[in-house]
Amino acid sequence: MKRHFNIRVNGIVQGVGFRPFIYRLALENNIKGYVLNDTEGVTIEAEGEEKELEKFIKAIRENFPPLAIVQEIKIEEKEVNNFKSFWIEKSRKTEKKITFIPPDTNICKDCLKEFFDPQNRRYHYPFIVCTHCGPRFSIVKDIPYDRHNTSMAEFPMCEDCKKEYEDPLDRRFHTQPTACPVCGPKLFLYKNDKTLISENINEIVEKVYQYLKEGHIVAIKGVGGYHLACDATKDEPVLKLRERKRRPFKPFALMAGSIEKVEEFLYLSPKEKEILLSKERPILILKEKKSIISKYVAPYLSYIGIMLPYTPFQYLLFSLDRDLILVMTSGNLSEEPICFKDNEAFERLSHIADYFVTYNREIIAHSDDSVMFVIKEKPFFIRRSKGFVPAPILLKKTFPVHLFASGGDLKNSFAIAKDKVVILSQYLGDLESPITQRVYQSTVEHFLKVFDVNPEVYISDMHPHYFTTAITDKLAGGKPRIKVQHHHAHIVAVMAEYEIEEPVIGVSFDGTGFGTDHKIWGSEFLIADRKEFKRMGHFSYFMLPGGEKAIKEVWRIGLSLLYQAELSIDYLPFKEGKPLNIILQMLEKKLNCPFACSIGRIFDGVSALLGICETISTEAEAAQKLEEKALKTEKFHKIELEIEERENQIIVSTEDLIRKIIELKEKKIPIPEIALSFHWAIIEASFKVVERIKEKSGIKKVILNGGAFQNRILLKGLWEKLEKAGFEVFLPQKTPLNDGGIALGQIIIGRENLSF
């Protein structure tokens, strides 16, 4: 019996070959009707015999294209129309815009094969692309995802490309960025004074390789912005890049041409190999096993970030030399957003790069490379950006209104929500500089337009001095405003990911978060649900002399910790030339000395007390160097910390921790052993606090989140200890451990606290 179904498919179903997939499926199953893109997703009118329709719908559910994410399929039966064939109808606009845009991905195997085939018309064409790969998010101006709504609009297709584009059985059918050397974007090589050197791809790649081997720095326009590249095996260019980029410590990311090359000098587990080779192509943090790169790539550290090529030009460059290893770091000045507009790149990077490789297609949405690491074969985000954004986080519960959450001021990513989805923005960086703040505002505008979100409720952190708090006030313009406690947002972000509804024990460790007592939190033990939380415990408070200044000059925190523990300042290694008496007077009088209890600041202070770090040039530098010392040994000394209950709160004594660290130092215990002992003291005390909370509450679900858990020893140690004791431990895997994920938590808490 013939039947007619209207089938609506929602999710990431545009720009991923969904219509040609449906077309081929219809031909295979003798289905008549049509398929089209609209601003809600994909609509299919399908007529056929009952059995064929069943097979057709089953295949849509189970065998969709690799880049697609099917969120929902709605089927409605209609009267038989007696369609004579199956075709692809023109896209149309509907009342709603709920379609999603696929992330940018690595070039696929089929395109790569054509790229290196001298007989193919796209041989060495650096913008080769098909339905299954290449730029998407970075080139989209609006939806529906059609060529005229992308930055490819100014490149009319030649006859050959048009023929492929219009053939439903071709791999490039309706591939919006499709192009060839005749009709598509072109590559250019310039000197940093904008003198054009070449427009020939083979000449460009050979010259760039030569410049890099000679020790020059080359700015290369990628998918989401510019990279700064230099030879990673030589000290001179790496040091030159550090000096010009004003980045004395923060590690550089690398790119190698093959997984085999990576395995030569870095340890790789099966999961790490899988992630490196994935279509998302993130930077992955791996342990060094053989020293073949400059020690200045990641000074003082044994873990190195690396990625594999993902653009045609990168593949071509590495094809010239299988042993090539390049620094491939974001094209920016330290802590500024990545440059993605050509004029801005020449303006901001010409004093860093000697040469520029660029192209004449506009990047609409910028994105840095995503950064991940693996513990116990589970992946964790440090930065969620290219390859993953703007893939939506799909939820069971519908949002009654459109929401906007501004995230935090560090490692920023904002979020928008409607229907049953949350869309997190790409990593935007630290919102200290006016440039980053401008990029933040323009990115918010772009997301609201493209995803057709008109927020009715605006949510931010409760910190009164955050840029995000102020901009959310401005954006709200009198609409409902909700402010969310920072560490509560960390915990609820993970609850959202796992759809946890009941209360959990939340352990949120980081550097800074504004507390309800107006002090700086960051060692939080909470009982939390999606709406509210109760603070159950924390490490005891200490002062930050000079406030923000102490975060940069970590020796001040070391001095404060000694003062708090009533120990002699002689235990501070960094005394020469320091205004110690002034700082002590500030501490005595509590002048410009905000109280803090954050794990991040405790790490900073102990790093100073052990003579590891005096001042920092980038966030978490002192903590990273302390962790690195601890990784040098497996021997540690058990430290049992005083834990007491005061006013219904469990307090771990920071003073006792410092006294016991100094005792080990007095006994001439090697610094790596003290560093590891410190880590285990935090782990053991945290475990005991969680056990006490369980005894009081009966809760066995524990969430660990916050930037301090990027520390491998801390994360693995506490995670394993809790699991061994029978706790069910949940960790973020869709959002970063740091502040890059709190916007998701803010959105969920905001929804639960809606007053209408």
714 and 663 in one domain? yes
The pLDDT of residue 99 is: 66
Residue 646 belongs to domain with CATH number: 3.30.420.40
Q: Looking at residue 365, what DSSP letter applies?
A: S
Q: Label residue 281 by pLDDT band (50, 70, 90).
A: very high
pLDDT score for 647: 85
* Phi and psi at residue 489, to the nearest 5°: -60, -40
Amino acid identity, residue 531?
A: K
With a CB cutoff of 8 Å and minimum separation 6, the contacts of 409 are 430, 431, 432, 461, 463, 466, 467, 468, 739
The Cα–Cα gap between 22 and 35 comes to 7
The Cβ of residue 566 has, within 10 Å, a number of other Cβ atoms equal to 9
754 within domain boundaries: no
Give yes or no for residue 71 having a pLDDT over 90.
no
Residues 430, 300 share a domain: no
User: In terms of DSSP H, where are the helices of 667-753?
Assistant: 671-697, 712-724, 742-752
Residue 301 lies in a domain: yes
Q: Which of 66, 88, 110 is the last residue of a domain?
A: 88
Q: What is the pLDDT of residues 456-468, one digit of tens each?
A: 999 999 999 999 9
Q: How confident is the model over 151-179, as pLDDT tens digits?
A: 999 999 999 999 999 888 899 988 999 99
Terminus-to-terminus CA distance in the chain, angstroms? 49
Residue 72, pLDDT above cutoff 90:
no
Would 457 be classed as within a structural domain?
Answer: yes
- CB 37 within 8 Å of CB 28: no
Same domain, 597 and 448: no
Question: 102 falls in which pLDDT band (50, 70, 90)?
Answer: confident
- Sequence letter at residue 511: G
Whether pLDDT at 14 is above 80:
no
Q: Do residue 235 and residue 275 come from a single domain?
A: yes
- Specify whether 461 is located in the same domain as 369: no
660: in domain: yes
Please calculate the CA angle 660-664-666 and round it to the nearest 5 degrees: 110
* CATH code: domain of residue 228: 3.90.870.40
Angular region, 225: left φ>0, alpha ψ -120 to 50, beta rest:
left
Last residue within a domain, chosen from 70, 88, 106: 88
d(CA 101, CA 141): 11
Q: Is 321 helix (H, G, I), strand (E, B) or coil?
A: coil
Residue 37 confidence (pLDDT): 87
Helix (H, G, I), strand (E, B) or coil at 434: helix
The CA distance from 329 to 633, in Å, is: 31
User: To the nearest whole number, what is the mean pLDDT of the chain?
Assistant: 95
Q: Which long-range contacts (CB under 8 A, 24 or more apart) does 316-320 make?
A: 316/115, 316/124, 316/126, 316/201, 316/205, 317/205, 317/208, 317/209, 318/255, 318/256, 318/257, 318/258, 319/116, 319/257, 320/205, 320/206, 320/209
- Please name every residue paired with 357 in a beta bridge, in sequence order, or none if there are none: 189, 220
Q: Are residues 400 and 341 both part of a single domain?
A: no
Has residue 307 been placed in a domain? yes
Question: Are 366 and 441 members of one domain?
Answer: no
Lowest mean pLDDT among 59-68, 355-364, 538-547, 646-655: 59-68
Q: Which of the residues 37, 106, 711, 738 is marked catalytic?
A: 37
> 455 and 359 share a domain?
no
- Is a pLDDT exceeding 90 seen at residue 572? yes
- 116: how many CB neighbours lie within 10 A of its CB? 14
Contact residues for 306 (Cβ-Cβ < 8 A; gap 6+) = 253, 254, 255, 256, 262, 266, 276, 283, 284, 286
Q: For residue 37, indicate whether it is catalytic.
A: yes
Domain assignment present for 113: no
Q: Quick: pLDDT tens for 123-147.
A: 999 999 998 999 999 999 987 778 9
CA atoms of 93 and 144, how far apart (whole Å): 7
Q: State how far the alpha carbon of 142 is from the alpha carbons of 174, 317, 403, 430, 448, in Å.
A: 16, 33, 20, 27, 10
Mean pLDDT of 521-550: 98
Same domain, yes or no: 402 and 369: no
658 pLDDT more than 70: yes
d(C-alpha 236, C-alpha 306), whole Å: 20
Domain hosting 72: range is 2-88
Mean pLDDT score, 714-733: 98
Percent of the chain with pLDDT over 90: 89
HSE value, Cβ hemisphere, 13 Å, CA-based, for 334: 15
Q: What is the mean pLDDT of residues 696-715?
A: 98
Task: Give the residue-averaged pLDDT of 208-228.
Answer: 98
Instruction: Give me the half-sphere count of Cα atoms (radius 13 Å) on the Cβ side of residue 127.
Output: 25
Residues 542, 665: one domain? yes
CB 283 within 8 A of CB 255: no
- Residue 466 belongs to domain with CATH number: 3.30.420.360
Domain at 21, CATH number: 3.30.70.100
Rounded mean pLDDT of 614-618?
95
Do 609 and 681 share a domain, yes or no?
Answer: yes
The domain tally of the chain equals 4
Q: What is the DSSP letter of 617?
A: S
Question: Please, which pLDDT band fits residue 101 given cuts at 50, 70 and 90?
Answer: confident
Catalytic residue (choose from 3, 6, 8, 19): 19
The tokens of 485 are what?
């406690």
Q: Is 19 an annotated catalytic residue?
A: yes
**Residue 427 to residue 441: CA distance in whole angstroms:** 13
What are the tens digits of pLDDT across the range 286-317? Answer: 999 999 999 999 999 999 999 999 999 999 99
| β-pair type (254-256, 226-231) | unpaired
Q: Is the pLDDT of residue 95 over 80?
A: no
Gyration radius from the chain CA atoms: 27
pLDDT at residue 97 in the model: 65
Q: Is residue 526 part of a domain?
A: yes
Residue 6: what pLDDT?
Answer: 95
Do 223 and 104 touch, CB atoms closer than 8 A? yes
Over residues 626-647, the pLDDT tens digits come to 999 999 999 999 999 999 999 8
Residues 676-691, mean pLDDT to the nearest whole number: 98
In a domain, residue 520? The reply is yes
Residues 478 and 548 in one domain: no
Higher pLDDT, 71 or 21: 21
pLDDT score recorded for residue 729: 98
Tell me: the pLDDT tens digits for 321-374?
Answer: 999 999 999 999 877 889 999 999 999 999 999 999 999 999 999 999 999 999
Q: How confident is the model at residue 15 (pLDDT cuts 50, 70, 90)?
A: confident
> What pLDDT does 45 receive?
95
- SS3 of 207-266: the string is HHHHHHHCCCCEEEECCCCEEEEEECCCHHHHHHHHHHHCCCCCCCCEEECCHHHHHHHE
